[in-house]
Amino acid sequence: MSTTHAPIRTAATLHDVAREAGVSLATASRVLNGSTRKVAESYRERVEAAAIKLGYTANLSAQATARGTAAIVALLVADIADPYFGQLAAGVARGADEAGLVVTIAITERDPQREVRLVRALRGQRPRGLILAASRTEGPDAAGLQTELDGFVSMGGRVVMLGPGTGDTRSVAVDNRNGAAALGRELAQLGYRDAIVIAAEGGIRTSDDRVAGFTEGFASGGGAVRDVRRAGFTRDAGYAAAQELLEGDVPEGTLIFGVSDVVAIGVMSAVRDAGRRVGPDIAVAGFDDIATGRDIRPGLTTVRVPLEDLGYRALHAAIDLEWDDSEPPLPLEVIVRGSTPPRV
């Protein structure tokens, strides 16, 4: 019995595309390899049509070798299932598409050493930019990260951090502390005096800034944070922490602030499962303004972060030749919804 195999098709080369389109190799290269030099629209259309017909794809490794970097931007996020990072990634992707770049997404799972390993692996792809969107962890757990980032920069890449940058990195500011302070002041004005905060583990910059800001703002309006529970940045962490709290004495009128909307949504579920009412009984607030918080009932009081615009700005910080780190942060806005009805 004989077996017939389909012939293996040789990958089309740039020379093949140029020949098919009837243009020079240089013109085909300018169209397909992301050159900044302009090409007549009629030539561009012919080259792109030929590339599609022949199934040509650019050799990113060869481009990276020739240029020092590839037409790639790498985005590191903590958890792709978290809508915060999904909306942020949408902004990065929009900017990358406009610039003719491809976005590679890697997930740190909020593990500092996993982040170090991912940066080391991504260096081999030679991306043009590396955007660190996962919450910064400070302390010995993050050992080795700066060395890897310095190595990435030395190879011609550019590093962008959300929040304060270090060394040769660029930064895109998010005013977590002042946004949380504004939320605390607003809720104190609504008549709340007793609050509990559910936060991530200590040393995570985003969480720590939001805890500090909320505590200051709430106190300035006459309120007091009586407890800070260190749980995590996930829905399940918020649920578990609130469940434990509600097994004790949590009087009516208590406000629970989750340092992110997903944490706060977990808190809301725990309140309901405990037979309590969200809003009139236990008030809940979050931070970020993800779409889910607008759709649930009661709607979630929060601080709106323009996440897509933040991602778009981070992309340009990664690829633009000039960047001003002193540019003011994007404006944040307190949004009051039914989860925190007035108590005055």
- How confident is the model at residue 109, as a pLDDT? 84
312 — pLDDT class (breaks 50, 70, 90): very high
Report field, pTM of the whole predicted structure over 0.75: yes
Average pLDDT of the chain is: 87
Q: Which residue has the higher pLDDT, 30 or 257?
A: 257
The pLDDT tens digits for 121-170 are 888 788 999 999 876 666 566 667 888 888 888 888 899 998 766 666 88
Where do the domains of the chain lie, and which CATH numbers do they carry? 14-58 (no CATH), 70-173+309-319 (3.40.50.2300), 176-305 (3.40.50.2300)
- How confident is the model at residue 277, as a pLDDT? 96
Yes or no: say if 315 and 92 are a contact pair by the CB < 8 Å rule: yes
Strands 283-285 and 127-132: unpaired
The pLDDT tens digits for 86-96 are 999 999 999 99
- How confident is the model at residue 297, as a pLDDT? 93
The pLDDT tens digits for 241-254 are 999 999 998 999 99
State the average pLDDT over residues 291-312: 95
Taking alpha carbons only, the member of 90, 81, 108 closest to residue 292 is 81
Q: Which residue has the higher pLDDT, 41 or 302?
A: 302
- How confident is the model at residue 273, as a pLDDT? 97
Q: What is the 3-state secondary structure (H, E, C) of the chain?
A: CCCCCCCCCCCCCHHHHHHHHCCCHHHHHHHHCCCCCCCCHHHHHHHHHHHHHHCCCCCHHHHHHHHCCEEEEEEEECCCCCHHHHHHHHHHHHHHHHHCCEEEEEECCCCHHHHHHHHHHHHCCCEEEEEECCCCECCHHHCCHHHHHHHHHHCCCEEEEECCCCCCCEEECCCHHHHHHHHHHHHHHCCCCEEEEEECCCCEHHHHHHHHHHHHHHHHCCCEEEEEEECCCCHHHHHHHHHHHHCCCCCCCCEEEECCHHHHHHHHHHHHHCCCCECCCEEEECCECCHHHHHCCCCCEEEECCHHHHHHHHHHHHHCCCCCCCCCCCCCEEECCCCCCCCC
Yes or no: say if 239 and 205 are a contact pair by the CB < 8 Å rule: no
What's the gap between Cα 183 and its chain centre?
22
The pLDDT tens digits for 42-87 are 888 888 888 888 777 665 555 544 444 578 999 999 888 889 999 9
